[in-house]
Chain A
Amino acid sequence: MRVGLFVPCYIDAFFPAVGIATLELLERLGLEVVYPLDQTCCGQMMANSGSQKDAAGAEALFVKNFSDFDYIVGPSGSCTVHVREHLDAIAQTPAVAKVRANTYELVEFLHDILAVEAFPWAEFPHKVGLHNSCSTLRKLRTAKASEIDEPVFSKPMDLLRKVRGIEFVTPSRPDECCGFGGTFSIFEEPVSAKMGYDKVADHHGAGAEYIVSADTSCLMHQKGCAERLGLDIRFIHIAQILNGDRA
């Protein structure tokens, strides 16, 4: 199984530790992982702003970099959603269709494709609030959303439960959006910040020492809010916990 590692632009630039943890984790699980050096971005930001034609260049480059893999795996729910559901700015060739069909968010990949049973190297003896990004929750459906009447399930929880020492706390609004929303965070800053403040206060109030998520974009926004508020709470990507980070 040839796996291409997709490291979104903002992770490459600001949170490389998340990319490193993802790579190391997949290697620990015995996979041959390749990181195409000329990747940049999936095009999500431009497309979400309505400028689909401005996304075309990035989308074409994405397909060019990743057309040769069985699986494309990345530590980002929102980017995965864009590739699978909205990579529409370019002609839909067989190569594009293949890339779209085989792109997975990390939790999906670990849970559904690899069906990982254990993370023996992992231990995280902390109180943790799980933040399911709206992309992973409502679009990739990696867990039950509170609005829908269906049996409870959670892929990230299934994985995290295999980590020694981890303890979960639940905020009062577990799946309300945290307010990042891409360029929403800039163009609707007042509401975005208020949503972020409410989110981190909620987790903090529930006793969380860490907020963990599969989406660094949410974490980046929440961390920015928490730091400005002076809240004592830390932020970590699920890849880092599963890869064995202790803190």
Chain B
Amino acid sequence: MKRIDHAEAASEFIAAKEHQEFHDRRLWDLRLKRDREAHGIPEWEELRELASRIKEHTLSHLADYLEEFEARARENGATVHWARDATEHNQIVLDILSARGSKTLVKSKSMLTEECDMRSFLERRGIEVIETDLGERIQQLDDEPPSHIVVPAVHKLRDDVSAVFARTIGAERGNNDIHYLAETQRRTTRPYFLRAEAGMTGANFAVAETGSFVVCTNEGNADLSANVPKLHIASIGIEKIIPRTEHLGVFIRLLSRSALGSPITQYTSHFRAPRAGGELHIILVDNGRSERLGMRDFWYSLKCIRCGACMNTCPVYRRSGGLSYGATYSGPIGVIIDPAFNIRKYSNLPFASTLNGSCTNVCPVKINIHEQIYKWRQVIAERNQLPFVKKEMMRIAGKVLADPRLYRAAISAAGLAIEHLPRFAIYNWLNAWGRQREIPKAPGQTFRSWYLENRKPS
């Protein structure tokens, strides 16, 4: 399994100057909007603390809350399924659809279904799956995964969208007016809502007390997917459980403010029971979550409410784009989740970080993201997944820096090298520092030798 090379993908992303600069500005703008909302609520930090503690309590009693959720949901008339992994999840969806002869599925945004790669599984078996969220639809039509969990096509400019729509849904070639493009997607998606036999949503939260789940959208596409077709299927990761309805006050107040800098999404939809004459199926999905729960250093990542604030603030993410991480989950939350799925493939990701800690500060549920990034680096080194060059560099550096005399010899050699080698030798292609930066000049002497000359040694 090939290791994802984030740096190389990032390099290509940065080279597309107009795209990268727009991407960076757009997401930084979301970060600023988030700040304005956060600073407008005196109890903001208290809400974060409450959300964090509610989640930590729930995860520590997760089995009990899952059982409570299931019992209530069943009483409400929903059918509850359990899926150990992605394959089982996809099969359950297929079985539900096949049993009813359903061939068309409209769905709203669900990172869980991306994680399970559900769409290609269903499409290969003759089910037509229509993404109804505008950003997700753009990505589906372009055969590209979403790059951001909240704004899936944030890396695209209007011309890109225009080209995709002209190629796939009959939009006018060259018409890049954004209102026109959005209207085209609305117009061509609407017939699917009307004739689809099944609709699928994810869930932002699942309430144990009532057996309900909550879906937050701005477009209303989850409401259409769930309220028009007779059959509503909801895929829910087991970590989405919260104990009581009243806790939604905390999470809903935090979610959209963190994600987009708006006080709430246009639609906050609560599903408790199938509507009259309809069917509701809930699939509770594990897919590695129970295992992550047992990781002492990493289980806090299960608190995640998928707001994307960490991506918006991350200076690395904004300059490399979500697709550069090569995984369903990108950005800061991605780098602490992905290695649990496949440590070799994602062994570079925790190094796509400066450990600056901004992500931890914006996380509405106080996940200690940058601390987990640091810890993953230790795990990756222990499991021998560091690239050879880095491993060797650190081994040698560790030896030199452990010995004062070796250290002093190395410094004087480096100083001599910088002073005497010709520029081309220093700036050769092996020297990553020098590719886009000047190398520091060698000073006349080290601090230590100055100290020996100018102060009495201790």
Contact = CB atoms under 8 A, between A and B. Distances in A.
Q: Do chains A and B touch in the complex (CB under 8 A)?
A: yes
A57 B401 contact: yes
B437 to A, nearest CB: 3
- Most A CB contacts (10 A, CB to CB) among B397, B443, B457 go to B397
B381 interface: yes
Contacts of B433: 185-186, 189, 224
Contact of B411 (A13, A37, A225): A13
B7 A181 contact: no
Contact of A16 (B44, B398, B402, B447): B447
A64 to B, nearest CB: 10
B423 interface: no
B446 A147 contact: no
A7 B455 CA distance: 15
A117 interface: no
A34 B399 contact: no
Contacts of A181: 353-356
A225 B436 contact: yes
A132 to B, nearest CB: 11
B196 interface: no
A181 B319 CA distance: 15
Interface in A126-164: 134, 138-139, 145-150
B319 A194 contact: yes
B402 A189 contact: no
B354 A147 contact: no
B407 interface: yes
Given A34-B458, A147-B361, A221 B356 contact: no
A110 to B, nearest CB: 19
Interface residues of B, number: 75
Nearest to B389: A187
Dominant SS among interface residues on chain B: helix
Interface string A8-19: 010111111101
B443 A187 contact: no
B437 A196 contact: yes
Nearest to B34: A147
B85 interface: no
Contact of A51 (B353, B398, B457): B398
Dominant SS among interface residues on chain A: helix
B423 to A, nearest CB: 13
Interface in A40-54: 40-41, 43, 45-46, 48-54
A12 B432 contact: no
B354 A180 contact: yes
B358 interface: yes
A195 B398 CA distance: 28
A228 B436 CA distance: 7
A221 B440 CA distance: 9
A38 B458 contact: no
A247 B222 CA distance: 61
A48 B435 CA distance: 23
Contacts of A227: 437-438
Interface in B388-421: 390-391, 393-395, 397-399, 401-404, 407, 411, 414-415
Interface of B: 6-7, 10-11, 14, 20, 28, 35, 38-39, 41-42, 44-45, 313, 315-316, 319-320, 350-358, 360-362, 374, 377-382, 386, 390-391, 393-395, 397-399, 401-404, 407, 411, 414-415, 432-433, 435-440, 442-443, 445-448, 450-452, 455, 457-458
5 contacts: A20-B450, A35-B458, A50-B381, A57-B398, A147-B38
Given A46-B397, A177-B315, 17 more contacts: A9-B411, A12-B446, A36-B458, A50-B382, A54-B394, A57-B401, A57-B403, A61-B402, A61-B403, A138-B360, A147-B38, A147-B362, A149-B41, A181-B354, A184-B353, A184-B354, A191-B14
